[in-house]
């Protein structure tokens, strides 16, 4: 299997607060990697370092054999064109309609004809089951709909690597399960590699092939969800018991 993401000894601190301390991680092609951890352990920081929204203090980050930390702004943008990123709040452009949001990356980076663009927009909206929302503004959409449209915007360029920052946060359990299933479905149909930062055990159970647990800036545990949730390690037992209780509360 090819390694799509290879993070080597990445460290990041904000002032004296060390958030990531020599973190290393490999993600194989077609794999769904879930990153767990308590709030403030640097999960989102790790994700943002991967696309250089934040600059790591040290280390190397390879995406398909290219060290993104050594790239010029122009070269970096070329790499970013082939990545998808779903933000926690979906980050839809407020001033644009759903159609314009989806059109935006296509117009900027590809030379599609208007007909081809329209077909692509309709196709991704169909994938997220929101064909009727095409002319709506983001303010007219619910939280779950925003996440779906955010997902549609991220996959419209057919990225090989998708990064998800808390894709189910703030959603009710049913919508959360729907979004998780949708992520899995898209990953399979588009043959994408995914890195998912989440707190949601239900979401992780649905989509994860493998997971890591970040604690105090280091990768403390790695394995499948079953291995992690059934581990006898005191930290993992404590961490997942909270998650399981929270998850059961949500399910109830």
For residue 215, the minimal CB distance to another protein (Å) is 25
Residue range at the interface with another protein (CB under 8 A); choices 100-108, 111-119, 124-132, 210-218? 100-108
Q: Nearest 10 degrees: CA dihedral of 40, 44, 49, 55?
A: -50
The answer for residues whose C-beta is within 8 angstroms of residue 91's C-beta and 6 or more apart is 150
Helices marked H in 128-220 — which ranges? 143-155, 173-190, 201-207
The distance of Cα 51 from the centroid of its chain, to the nearest Å, equals: 11
Q: Nearest 10 degrees: CA dihedral of 124, 98, 149, 115?
A: 10
> Residue written as tokens 């709030």?
39
Assess 80 for contact with another protein (CB under 8 A). yes
Residue range at the interface with another protein (CB under 8 A); choices 14-22, 81-89, 117-125, 175-183? 81-89
Name which of 103 and 247 has its Cβ closer to another protein: 103
Assess 78 for contact with another protein (CB under 8 A). yes
Name which of 37 and 159 has its Cβ closer to another protein: 159
Assess 55 for contact with another protein (CB under 8 A). no
3-state helix, strand, coil in the chain (%, to 5): 45, 25, 30
**Cα 242 to Cα 37: distance, rounded to the nearest angstrom:** 12
Phi, psi dihedrals of residue 196, rounded to the nearest 5° = -120, 120
Assess 164 for contact with another protein (CB under 8 A). no
Per-residue string for binding with another protein, 122-161, x by CB under 8 A?
Answer: -----------------------------------x----
Residue range at the interface with another protein (CB under 8 A); choices 61-69, 104-112, 179-187, 195-203? 104-112
Assess 83 for contact with another protein (CB under 8 A). yes
Q: Applying CB under 8 A, which residues contact another protein?
A: 48, 51, 53, 73, 77-78, 80-81, 83, 85, 87-89, 91-95, 104-105, 108-109, 157
């Amino acid at each position: 299997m090819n390694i799509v993401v290879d993070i080597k000894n990445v460290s990041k601190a904000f002032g004296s607060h060390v958030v990531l301390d020599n973190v290393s991680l490999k993600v194989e092609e077609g794999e769904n990697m879930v990153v767990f951890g308590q709030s403030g352990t640097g999960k989102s920081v790790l994700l943002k370092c991967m696309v250089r929204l934040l600059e790591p203090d040290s280390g190397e980050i390879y995406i398909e054999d290219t060290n993104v930390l050594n790239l010029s702004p122009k070269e970096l943008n070329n790499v970013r064109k082939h990545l998808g990123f779903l933000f926690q709040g979906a980050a839809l452009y407020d001033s644009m309609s759903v159609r314009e949001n989806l059109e935006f990356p296509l117009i900027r980076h590809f030379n599609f004809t208007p007909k081809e663009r329209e077909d692509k927009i309709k196709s991704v909206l169909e994938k997220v089951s929101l064909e009727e929302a095409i002319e709506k503004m983001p303010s007219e959409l619910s939280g779950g709909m925003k996440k779906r449209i955010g997902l549609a915007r991220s996959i419209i360029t057919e990225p090989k690597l998708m990064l998800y920052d808390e894709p189910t946060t703030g959603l009710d359990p049913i919508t959360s399960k729907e979004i998780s299933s949708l992520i899995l479905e898209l990953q399979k149909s588009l043959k994408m590699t995914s890195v998912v930062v989440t707190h949601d055990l239900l979401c992780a159970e649905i989509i994860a092939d493998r997971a890591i647990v970040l604690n105090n800036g280091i990768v403390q545990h790695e394995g499948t969800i079953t291995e992690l949730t059934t581990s006898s390690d005191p930290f993992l037992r404590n961490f997942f018991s909270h998650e399981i209780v929270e998850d059961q509360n949500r399910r109830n």
